[in-house]
Amino acid sequence: MSKDYSALAKQIIDIIGVENIESVTHCQTRLRFVVKDAKIIDKAKLESLDLVKGVFFGSGQYQVIIGTGVVNDVYDAIEHLHVVNAIYGQETAATTTESNDEHKIKLQRFMAMLSGIFIPIIPVIAATGLFLGLQSAFTNAQVLKLFGITPAAIPASLNTVISVLTGTVFSFLPALIVWSTFRYFKGTPIVGIVIGLMLVSPSLPNAYSVAGGTAKAIMLFGKIPVIGSQGSVLTALVAGYLGCVLEHYFHKHVPNVLDQILTPFLTMLVTFAIMILGVGPIVHSIENVLVAGVEGLIHLPFGIGGFLIGAAYPLMVLVGIHQMMIAIETSLLAATKLNPLITLEAMYGFANLGVALAMIMRAKSQKAKANFIGAFSSQLFGVSEPTLFGVLIRYNFKPLIITVLTSGLGAGVLSILSVAANSYGLAVVPSYLMYIYNVRNLLIYTIVSLLTIVVAFVATNMFAIPADILKSDEPVTTDDVADNTVYAPIDGQTVALTQVNDPVFSSKMMGDGVAIKPQVTADTVKIYAPQSGTMSVVADTGHAYGLTTPEGLELLIHIGIDTVSLNGQGFKVAVKLGQAVQQGDLLGEFTPAVIKQAKLDDTVMVIITNSKQYLSIEPTSEPTVKAGTSLIAVQTATVADVQPA
């Protein structure tokens, strides 16, 4: 009996906000929300939920990492709540508001579209790859020899039945893509799948046969060549989008009494006519050029192309544009039945394993080690975000550089040896299943992937182990430390620094500390000195203050994210550079409404910029604080600590 996830589903929806959600879909590991405003979501509260492994915004979607398998059940529970648009993505003219345009760049929205269209069909393509792999393994002459038979002994009828398992998805791939495109753009899915089936109808000459010279195109009216669209991913995407636009148009203009019959009729007729009479062949030709270009890059001499792809892929994941690779991989599979691209991209996951393993082995901080173990475990099955955001960019980007270089090296070797998968959708440990169709490829892929782990492990140990994790976080006695306290500069809700929506702060590049979501009870929020000392920074724009205490503690109070762009609008400064202040003195004030109106985050960061000089920095465990109450406990080494024994 499957577990009931309705309570978790409701918690997730409540935190993100029913009115904030435009649509929700899911992939193999995460829920993907298209939201109106990601900044109003309580990320820390969301990540505190049971089974939620992490949260981040990328590819134009608010992504909640759940994990393989369970995510399907949680998505089903969300769908059964019937309170949000639980379908594979929505982004039509009707739902794309001005607000969306402001907080999603066009590229991110394009990535979200590709993700929403291709993710639903990944499982069947991955399954087909496994079918092909098993077929190759069990019909191999050497394998059959162990049983005293040869491939010729396999009945033709059995081969025919097996071909249904291995050939159906690729034979009707355009139909699946048109169906998924219709779902994404709020068309009628059954209309989409029929249009897709028309494109690959057996009544039309097969595109592969025409290309191979064994069949000829139908010459319509004696002039227009007509063939099927087998294997053309781009043609299916264009047909799906065009069909949705036409269907929406006909729904608006056809009389209601005729809508149910006439709209599907006109949609299918016009879409098929446009695609088959010229647009389809043109688009297919463009796609062939693009596929040839990608193959040319992959097969550049000396593994150069493979290195570039392998090194670029971690950076693509970081900025959220990696989803477009799914479309390219699908085109490669449709055209060649092989996918060398995912082979090169896969080295990113193995490089991450090596980096995380090195961190685990070297870490003396038990808190850091627990974080690394969690990231390593998730990465084993292809969930890379905990490693990417919790390891690679958290420690001055050196681990990320190691991943980029080792991923590129592994991919370069694989491109030289011409290794390719026969599907996609599987990563790291499960990815080996994509190579069982060919013993040579499986052996090479296994060796190179393991060597990638080893090289990343060694390089991380040599160049990228952060000093922070080499410090034990075991409690120390009061005789060995001097205590200090940083006080809250405002009232509000505490937020872990790692949850701040800015990688500079969340990765602790600026130092350790804590963030506060302001409690707004008046038009303005006053900022008070969190300690006594001298003002070392007073931004003209009023968005940042720096203070140095007599003991050498260096504090930064940063108001909001990207608020420097306001050029002081909504801010008022009450102190000057070099001025001596006491804890609790007024530093300045800001107007949250101005920040919100500019679509910016008003979270206040309190950072100890020289945090590496201290034994321990412990933010308060209280969920809310008042100005002047304890916010951060700092433990400072005494003279006795640094003198030789």
Residues classed as catalytic: 27
Q: Is residue 526 within a helix (H) or strand (E), and if so which, with residue range?
A: strand 525-528
Q: DSSP 3-state helix, strand, coil percentages of the chain (rounded to 5)?
A: 55, 15, 30
At 606, is the secondary structure helix, strand, or coil? Answer: strand
- Give strand pairing partners of 588: 527, 573
Burial status of residue 460 (CB atoms within 10 A of its CB: 0-12, 13-18, 19 or more): buried
Give dist(CA 538, CA 623) in Å, integer. 29
At 205, is the secondary structure helix, strand, or coil? Answer: coil
- Give strand pairing partners of 548: 534, 554
Provide long-range contacts, Cβ within 8 A and 24+ apart, for 583-586. 583/487, 583/529, 583/530, 583/531, 583/532, 583/628, 584/487, 584/528, 584/529, 584/627, 584/628, 585/528, 585/529, 586/526, 586/527, 586/528, 586/529
Cβ-contact 525, 627 below 8 angstroms: no
Record the tokens describing residue 365, joined without a space: 């901080």
The one-letter amino acid at 442 = L
Considering only CA atoms, which of 592, 611, 605 is closest in space to residue 554? 611
